[in-house]
């Protein structure tokens, strides 16, 4: 497990906690590996009834660590290896164990799109949600270009995915991917009580009900892989090089001369 993903157990609840507060809980390759391993192990271990995602500090997750992402996953150079980010995305998309998330502050990029695969999402009043993929010369990932329009409607999804508009917790609840908005001091208890309530239910009935409600994940995985192909191509594009450099240099990118 990564030192920046804290793993703990309380009965049937497995907690995976972002714990890289000095970097705004930005996600590295090592963190993706830890998250994927946790989800896969949860599905294998019958004693794990629920997975709860939460985060230390004031920020849920700033999304991908741009410098780490630009450096690349060593698995990308091995045609037989699966990049850790792909392992995580496929694991969360196909997870049979119920997933609960507690979002206490800003969530960016994959910090938002991962929530579309969770069964219950609770947000503090201070939470915000931002998917600036196009601003970084990238495309949506985690099948968000399929799932967010389904949940929120196309025009609302376009606010986030095309315009890159940041929305608050109340708006996210209107969009449909947040179940409830609570005071910051009540968030941990609210999410934990929901996780414990799920964990106390008949496990087989719960898994089957989730499977029936979500349907066949094949379409989601197919769409995710299509996004991934475009995402990988964009990572090699002049647009992304400019966007990444601008991000690290804290300046506005210049896309006036597309190639």
Eight-class DSSP state of 56: S
Are 51 and 97 contacting, i.e. CB atoms less than 8 angstroms apart? yes
The residue-averaged pLDDT of 197-207 equals 98
Question: Which has the closest alpha carbon to 132: 144, 117, 122?
Answer: 144
Which pairing describes strands 107-108 and 99-103: parallel, antiparallel, or unpaired?
Answer: unpaired
Architecture of the domain made up of 5-185: Alpha-Beta Complex (3.90)
Any idea what the Cα angle at residue 119 is, between residues 12 and 180, rounded to 5°? 105
Task: Write out pLDDT tens, residues 43-96.
Answer: 999 999 999 999 999 999 999 997 776 676 665 555 567 899 999 999 999 999
Sorted by where each begins, the domain ranges of the chain are 5-185
Checking if the pLDDT of 148 tops 80, the result is: yes
The pLDDT value given to residue 164: 97
pTM (whole model) above 0.75 = yes
- Number of C-beta neighbours around residue 35 at 10 A: 27
Question: Does residue 123 contact residue 130 with C-beta atoms inside 8 Å?
Answer: no
Q: What is the mean pLDDT of the chain?
A: 94
**Residue 137 to residues 164, 216, 255, Cα–Cα distance (Å):** 11, 31, 9
- Token pair recorded at residue 1: 């497990």
What span, in angstroms and rounded, lies between the C-alpha atoms of 181 and 162? 25
The residue assigned the tokens 């892989």 is 225
pLDDT classification of 215: cutoffs 50, 70, 90:
very high
- How many degrees, rounded to 5, is the angle at CA 143 between CA 157 and CA 190? 75
Question: CA angle at residue 43 from 33 to 97, to 5 degrees?
Answer: 105
CB of 52 closer than 8 Å to CB of 192: yes
Give the pLDDT confidence of 5-57 residue by residue, as tens digits. Answer: 999 999 999 999 999 999 999 999 999 999 999 999 999 999 999 999 999 99
Q: How far is it, in rounded angstroms, from Cα 233 to Cα 227?
A: 10
């Amino acid at each position: 497990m990564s030192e920046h993903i804290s793993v703990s157990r309380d009965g049937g609840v497995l907690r995976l906690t972002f714990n890289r507060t000095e970097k705004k809980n930005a996600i590295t390759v090592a963190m993706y590996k830890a998250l994927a391993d946790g989800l896969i192990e949860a599905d294998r271990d019958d004693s794990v009834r629920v997975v709860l995602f939460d985060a230390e500090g004031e920020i849920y997750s700033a999304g991908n660590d741009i410098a780490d992402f630009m450096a690349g996953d060593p698995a990308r150079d091995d045609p037989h290896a699966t990049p850790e980010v792909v392992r995580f995305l496929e694991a969360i998309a196909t997870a049979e164990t119920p997933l609960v998330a507690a979002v206490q502050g800003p969530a960016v990029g994959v910090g938002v799109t991962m929530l579309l695969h969770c069964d219950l999402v609770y947000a503090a009043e201070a939470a915000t949600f931002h998917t600036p993929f196009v601003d970084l010369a990238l495309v949506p990932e985690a099948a968000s270009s399929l799932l967010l329009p389904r949940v929120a409607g196309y025009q609302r999804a376009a606010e986030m995915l095309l315009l890159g508009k940041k929305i608050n917790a109340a708006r996210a609840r209107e969009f449909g991917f947040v179940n409830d908005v609570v005071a910051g001091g009540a968030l941990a208890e609210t999410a934990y009580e929901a996780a414990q309530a799920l964990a106390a239910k008949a496990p087989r009935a719960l898994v089957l009900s989730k499977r029936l409600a979500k349907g066949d994940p094949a379409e989601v995985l197919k769409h995710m892989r299509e996004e991934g192909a475009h995402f990988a191509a964009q990572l090699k594009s002049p647009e992304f090089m400019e966007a990444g450099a601008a991000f690290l240099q804290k300046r506005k990118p210049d896309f006036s001369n597309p190639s």
